[in-house]
Amino acid sequence: MKFASEAIGIRLIETVTSGLYDGNLNCLREYVQNGIDAGAKNIEISFENGDQNLIIQDDGSGMNKFELENKALGIGVSDKTEEDAGWRGIGIWSGVPICQRIVIITKKCDDKKFRIQINNDALRNEYMSNRPVLDILSNATGEIEELPLGNDESFEKDHYTIVRLESILYNQKNIFNKDDIHSYLSSVVPAPFDAKQFELATEIDKWLNEKGVKYPSVNINFYGRIFRPPYKSDIFFKGFIQKEFIVGDKLIAVGWFLTTNKNEKLDKPNGGVYFKKKGFTLGDENLVLRQYSGTYHPWQYGEIHIISRELRENAARNNFEYNNRIVQTFLANVEEYIRQLEIQNHYQSDRIAANQIKKAQKYLENEDLQSAEKLADKIKRRLNKSARFPVEPSLKIMQPLIDSKFEQDKKEFSILETKINEIKSTTRGRKKRFLIKYSHQQSVQTCER
């Protein structure tokens, strides 16, 4: 059956732009993906004219006139493969809901410099239109222009693509701000660790590389280079969990995990467990945890990197396509693994009492002996309680680390207990001396009478 253009309505454009993603910041992922697929080594994102325009510039291969017209501007048309970061054919149009205009300027080596503009307001004005979609797109999209080279540009050597999101809409300003953009980029795009802040960076990178996880070699800058979390080391145990997710005899994904050493919830950006594919995050930190129906205490930070081509993300990139049994089995394995992590958390909770010991010490500093003694009794029962460590082999690395902390806490508790007993003994001595003195005074008064 052959479709006429009249059979495709303008609501298709609404679907692939406004309706495709959970949030409009996801257009940044699309433009970063396009740059990476073009071989970019540097991607620069910045505001212009205050916060009116957002500019995404990469030093990838650029596009000639044919590629700009027939590939970049196509909707759902792409010659990319699953080897590429992006392959849905949506990227350029993802900025439509954000601004009044999208301007693309691009150049390949040994080729001319071209510019094209998309009038997003013209698309929005046709929201309820029944006009043929091809007519609406043609009306909203300008002609490809040839631009003169700049004074410092070379016809033979220069190559790049610049995407300009011009005149950010008022209702998008609260989303497209520096803090939220930086937070989004650091958690979603394939950024490296900051080895100066995260001491396990080199070790984890080496392990991921050995397991076949390749991160694009690209610098992504937004008022400074973007690094991915975590940004601290001292809040975690000094060791990382390594897990292979295997379905049948196939390695589907690999994951690494850190555990807090403080028995406290880990908040973003240093908390959460994420699915990653080709360095990009699928969904958010809740996508992994939603696979587990029980109660989980968020004491881990981690990444699960998808290796298998049989696990494909959906169009919105917020979940997987449930198109085969491998997906179901893999996610069931993830659910079981989160359950094992929670058993480890219970073991740690039963074995480590540093926070409560500090609290009891604070009571003593404030001369609240009764509260300190009451809490000490609770700590003692906790430290004497038997605990079960999970059976999952990959978690065995954590048991000696937790047990070592347990031994430290026992020593701290012994010091605390001794201090409490000393204060109690001193208090009893004072009380006894007071009673003797009081009894003597009473006897003297009786004799005098």
Q: Which pair of tokens denotes residue 205?
A: 């990178």
Closest to 315 (Cα-Cα) out of 344, 289, 283: 283
Spatial contact of 254 and 243, defined as CB atoms under 8 Å apart: yes
- Residues of the chain below pLDDT 70: 1-23, 76-90, 427-449
Per residue in 199-219, is it b (16+ CB within 10 Å) or e — as a string? ebbeebeeebeebebebbebe
Res 440: pLDDT: 43
Name the pTM for this structure.
0.87
Write out the H or E segment, with its range, that includes residue 145: strand 145-147
Res 398: pLDDT: 97
Spatial contact of 47 and 53, defined as CB atoms under 8 Å apart: yes
Spatial contact of 8 and 133, defined as CB atoms under 8 Å apart: yes
Res 200: pLDDT: 96
From residue 330, give the alpha-carbon distance in Å to each of 151, 249, 286, 334, 439: 55, 12, 17, 6, 78
Write out the H or E segment, with its range, that includes residue 276: strand 272-277
CA distance 284 to 193: 18
Res 228: pLDDT: 97
Residue with tokens 């009116």: 52
Sheet order of strands, 219-221 included: 145-147, 113-119, 99-107, 160-168, 53-58, 42-48, 219-221
